[in-house]
Structure 1
Amino acid sequence: MKTIEMQTPERQGTTALPDGRVLSWSEWGPLTGRPVLLCPGAATSRWLGFGSAVLAETGVRLISVDRPGLGASTPMPRRSLLDWATDVRHLRLSRALNGLRVVGFSQGAPFALACAATQEVEAVALVSGGDELAHPAIRALLHPDVAKLVDLTATEPAQAEAFFAGMSAQMMWDMVIGMSHEADRAVYTEPRFAEAYRRALDEAFSQGTAGYARDTVLAMSRWPFKPESISVPVDLWYGALDTSPVHSPDHGQTLAARLPMARRRVEPDAGGALLWTHAEPILTSLLAR
């Protein structure tokens, strides 16, 4: 496995929103670079970036933002995916993030697509992206345990949210390691990566578990927008060795067919951690879209 450089954030701050909430963010890369927003995966936070070794050469200013209730961003109970897109609009305008593009990793995928559906971004890269698990074409392909959670979310959303609120940073770490292919475990357990990843988990749960629980309900519900209506280009990146049951059971094949301007790549020797193992081609392709 090639060495993956993990770097602590170069810049951190908060952005005030019109309703009095704040979004907390971290940045890496040149201030003059093309702004790329990272929508992090489940229960992680602004502390975990990617591609720090290639940001200067690719000309990327990477911005990772805590979603409401995670990390240091103000909670927003009963929020929706489209509420996130509105928050991103305020962030983009207040920080003059012109030409913004977005990367959605794992559970961050529907949040990234919400930004595309509302045309807040110019292009999208979904990496090991969570599919619309409640869509009929995907629901039939799910692992039985995941299908039960999707059904519970559809029929008893408050009960599902309470169930997801039982998660902790340690439980999330154990779950990710337990359901990952050995190729991914080699990435996640590398000492420097593990330190950065576990710090991001701890930070994500620093206000409690409600933020993660809400994120997961939104990810397991029907999306409030139609992928078929998204008019910006979308790259879908998957690793053929990805064994996560909550990403995409067909590695994005169905989702790519629903997105009018989609381009899908499945890397044969990669797993779900390809955000870190394939950072340069992901960013280069995103900027070229």
Structure 2
Amino acid sequence: MLIPEEIIYDPTAEVNSVVDLSTLVTKTPVTTPKGTYPILKRATDRFSSVAELAENPTLAEPEFEQVDWSVGTYRGAIPLSEEAIADSKVDLTALVGQSINEKSVNTYNAMIAPVLQSFTAKATTTDTLVDGLKHILNVDLDPAYSRALVVTQSLFNTLDTLKDKNGRYLLHNASDSITDGTAKGSVLGVPVYVVGDTLLGSAAGDQKAFVGDLKRGVLFADRQQVTLAWEESKIYGRYLGAAFRFGVQKADSNAGYFVTNTDAASGSTSGTGK
């Protein structure tokens, strides 16, 4: 008697630790393939005291910086055989849809990363990392900007081991009220989002970070969100096609800095935070 082979396999998705950077930037719906987006510059003038019934002084006109944007089309298809669909113990089409969603996040991040890398460069060592971050947050960035850190895993590991002079760790658990539960922690009161080393760097072990206002710094022109469709096929199966259109550009060049950290020669992991 032949006993049919049956492999019961209910796949469980890997732990999803990928941050969708597109949710942290300014996502603007657009209806054309290219255009300009006006960024209102910060006002530097002020009102003056005026005597009763005196003529109104002339205020400076608002200044705008025009950001040119354009969108690209990103698409592809995954073939599914009818045998695989019929023999699967789980909803195979739903799993493929989930996979396409993960691929779209990878695409968003890959397009946003070069924009983050293009901001003004700063260099730190592990011994000076905390002081360097404090200077960016307290001095270099205008107080009007919001603040966030997008760091590579290796830099996050460095931050996770830093202590202040009293031996207390500087990295704290993130508050869901300020990070929507997507940050890995907070440093100096700023939420920290973690990405892979090779997204912001070029190799494993690279310690890189964007520090600043993601929404002011990055424009995400959203022309068409991810759409799924079954495509015609001559095979005994189906093609699940996906397509979306978007573009990413730097908006406010003063909204952030790109930090490269290197380990100090001494190998010390103690910070200088107070």
* TM-score where L is the length of structure 2: 0.25
* TM-score where L is the length of structure 1: 0.24
Whichever structure has more helix as a proportion of its residues is 1
* Structure number with bigger Rg: 2
Higher RCO (Cα < 8 Å, 6 or more apart): 2
